[in-house]
């Protein structure tokens, strides 16, 4: 077994026990990236020197007998977390060569826990996309089938974990950008409750929805990663002032007997591949066999979630992306005058999908349309939130498929934005309600001639991450999902 195959907890333990050094592990992963990145394209920036320097300082700490939670373990960081002195672009041409003079809170927390920055992972431009095809640095390939997408927007983070190019990575989820790629790559991906992780220093897409989260190859590692990155931050006014929980501890102390699992009838209908349903049904059966109870529930406003999301998110994005004007940092294309410079810079700097969302956002916010679109979408959002509140009076957790199908082909939906948006159908409602959701591998299926992983989505009440991770851990124990071989 190669060092790069080690999981997060495993690696941290071996480093702490001085079985391996952080430097050895980091080198192993850097070599793995070097060998594989040309094909997978999971990383957009890898700084060997910084990685080895951080590894060295972890090794010193180990020597001094002063290890922290994940001391010495190298991590992949989605390219929308600002990293001080290391290029951060959100995979947009407009942030070409932007080197932040500050560190995001999430990555600060990770470095304070002993993490090592391995590199910045590829993503859809400004996290806008479900296939990683909108990245300025090109699409990421799904390690399970190189002709397929790993999903998006955190496609690089998911592919890097699946392909053993890091043990764990950060992602961000605005409408499914962690859960969908986790499902497509057979990894565990958790999006915690809105406010659990600070958004400070995270390049904004849609501020009321954006939430950082974690990828790993197993539930325990995802829990440990989330624990290392989350926490209250006074620099983010929407951050939740609650103590950090030790999500990774006592994961097995969980009694399935009596667990009430809600199955929303609106999620098990048209467009859901029958083989996906079969796999999800098997997962549910595993739980009922152990004494869990299944309750059919209704989330009646589900069908409005995608339209509401595609009004709220672009509106916020249109304003959030106004700062990329070529005046202070990033790309600037000189024009004849101010307006011309703005237009040339933004025309060249933004890709198609980003422009589309800026246009939608500015349209729905404009005078005369605001009430019909934005106000109405916010009202729908409140109803969707209430659907979940009502549901969680009856059940402990909600199970759904993460996506209607396994990973689709690169180029398969890129010409049809609406088809692409519909891929988020099972994930956006959770985001609109600000609830925690995760995707765990539930099985594999034949799909268009390939053998591909399928994810089960678990949704819980606000700040129920601990319960959610224990449920996911129980699922993992029963499912015996065979991950991709290194």
CB-CB contact of 80 with 202 (8 Å): yes
Q: How many CB atoms lie within 10 A of CB 333?
A: 16
Q: Does 237 bind other proteins (CB under 8 A)?
A: yes
The number of residues that bind other proteins (CB under 8 A) is 44
266 secondary structure, DSSP code: G
Least distance from other proteins to the Cβ atom of residue 122, Å: 17
**Span interacting with other proteins, options 40-48, 201-209, 247-255, 472-480, rule CB under 8 A:** 201-209
Q: Does 334 bind other proteins (CB under 8 A)?
A: no
Instruction: Single out the residue of 329, 356, 385, 479 in contact with other proteins (rule: CB under 8 A).
Output: 329
Dist CA 140 CA 123 (whole Å): 8
**Span interacting with other proteins, options 264-272, 277-285, 313-321, 466-474, rule CB under 8 A:** 313-321
What is the three-class DSSP state of 168?
strand
What is the three-class DSSP state of 461?
coil
Q: Does 88 bind other proteins (CB under 8 A)?
A: yes
Dist CA 326 CA 328 (whole Å): 6
Using the minimum distance from each CB to other proteins, give the nearer residue, 265 or 323. Answer: 323
Lookup result for tokens 């659907």? 387
Dist CA 240 CA 189 (whole Å): 21
Q: Does 104 bind other proteins (CB under 8 A)?
A: yes
Using the minimum distance from each CB to other proteins, give the nearer residue, 264 or 361. Answer: 361
Using the minimum distance from each CB to other proteins, give the nearer residue, 102 or 352. Answer: 102
Instruction: Single out the residue of 100, 176, 404, 453 in contact with other proteins (rule: CB under 8 A).
Output: 100
Sign of CA dihedral 283, 284, 286, 290: positive
Q: Does 99 bind other proteins (CB under 8 A)?
A: no
**CA diameter of the chain:** 71
CB-CB contact of 115 with 150 (8 Å): no
Q: Does 271 bind other proteins (CB under 8 A)?
A: no
Dist CA 88 CA 450 (whole Å): 34
Q: Does 212 bind other proteins (CB under 8 A)?
A: no
Q: Does 382 bind other proteins (CB under 8 A)?
A: no
Q: Among candidates 44, 40, 216, which has minimal Cα distance to 142?
A: 40
Q: Does 201 bind other proteins (CB under 8 A)?
A: yes
What residues are annotated to the active site?
Answer: 78, 153, 177
Q: Does 434 bind other proteins (CB under 8 A)?
A: no
174 secondary structure, DSSP code: S
Q: Does 38 bind other proteins (CB under 8 A)?
A: no
- 397-401: strand order across its sheet: 43-45, 116-121, 74-78, 168-173, 211-216, 188-191, 437-447, 450-459, 397-401, 260-264, 293-297
Q: Does 96 bind other proteins (CB under 8 A)?
A: no
Site string for other proteins, 160-199 (x = CB under 8 A): ---------------------------------------x
Using the minimum distance from each CB to other proteins, give the nearer residue, 236 or 245. Answer: 236
Dist CA 164 CA 226 (whole Å): 19
Chain positions contacting other proteins, by CB under 8 A: 80-82, 88, 90, 95, 98, 100-102, 104, 199-204, 206-208, 234-238, 315-316, 318-319, 321-323, 325, 327-329, 338, 342, 362, 365-367, 370, 374
């Amino acid at each position: 077994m190669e060092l790069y195959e080690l999981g997060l907890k495993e690696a941290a333990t071996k480093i702490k026990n001085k079985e391996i050094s952080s430097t050895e592990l980091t080198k192993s992963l850097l070599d793995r990236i070097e060998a594989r990145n040309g094909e997978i394209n999971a990383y957009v920036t890898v700084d060997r020197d910084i990685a080895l320097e951080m590894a060295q300082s972890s090794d010193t700490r180990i020597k001094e007998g002063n290890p922290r939670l994940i001391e010495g373990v190298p991590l992949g960081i989605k390219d929308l977390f600002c990293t001080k002195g290391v290029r951060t672009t959100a995979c947009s041409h407009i942030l070409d060569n932007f080197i932040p003079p500050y560190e995001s809170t999430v990555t600060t927390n990770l470095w304070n826990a002993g993490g090592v920055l391995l590199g910045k992972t590829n993503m859809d431009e400004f996290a806008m996309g479900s296939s990683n095809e909108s990245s300025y640095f090109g699409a990421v390939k799904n390690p399970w089938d190189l002709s397929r997408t790993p999903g998006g927007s955190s496609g690089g983070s998911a592919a890097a974990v699946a392909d053993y190019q890091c043990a764990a990575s950060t992602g961000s989820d605005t409408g499914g950008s962690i859960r969908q790629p986790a499902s497509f790559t057979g990894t565990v991906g958790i999006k915690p409750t809105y406010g659990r992780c600070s958004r400070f220093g995270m390049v904004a897409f849609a501020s009321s929805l954006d939430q950082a989260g974690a990828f790993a190859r197993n539930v325990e590692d995802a829990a440990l990663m989330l624990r290392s990155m989350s926490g209250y931050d006074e620099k983010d006014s929407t951050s939740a002032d609650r103590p950090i929980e030790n999500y990774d501890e006592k994961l097995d102390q969980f009694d399935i007997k009596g667990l009430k699992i809600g199955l929303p009838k609106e999620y098990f209908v048209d467009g859901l591949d029958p083989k996906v349903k079969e796999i999800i049904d098997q997962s549910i059966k595993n739980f009922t066999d152990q004494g869990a109870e299944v309750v059919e529930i209704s989330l009646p406003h589900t069908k409005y979630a995608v339209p509401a999301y595609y009004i709220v998110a672009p509106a916020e994005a249109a304003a959030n992306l106004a700062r990329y004007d070529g005046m202070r940092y990033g790309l600037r294309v000189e024009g004849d005058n101010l307006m011309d410079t703005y237009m040339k810079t933004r025309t060249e700097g933004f890709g198609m999908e980003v422009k589309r969302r800026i246009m939608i956002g500015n349209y729905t916010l404009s005078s005369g349309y605001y009430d019909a679109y934005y106000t109405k979408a916010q009202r729908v959002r409140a109803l969707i939130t209430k659907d979940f509140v009502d549901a969680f009076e009856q059940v402990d957790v909600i199970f759904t498929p993460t996506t209607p199908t396994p990973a689709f082909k690169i180029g398969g939906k890129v010409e049809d934005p609406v088809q692409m948006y519909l891929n988020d159908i099972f994930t956006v409602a959770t985001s609109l309600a600000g609830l925690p959701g995760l995707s765990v591998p539930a099985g594999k299926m034949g799909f268009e001639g390939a053998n591909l992983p399928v994810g089960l989505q678990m949704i819980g009440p606000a700040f129920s991450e601990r319960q959610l991770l224990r449920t996911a851990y129980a699922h993992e124990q029963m499912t015996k999902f065979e991950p991709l071989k290194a």
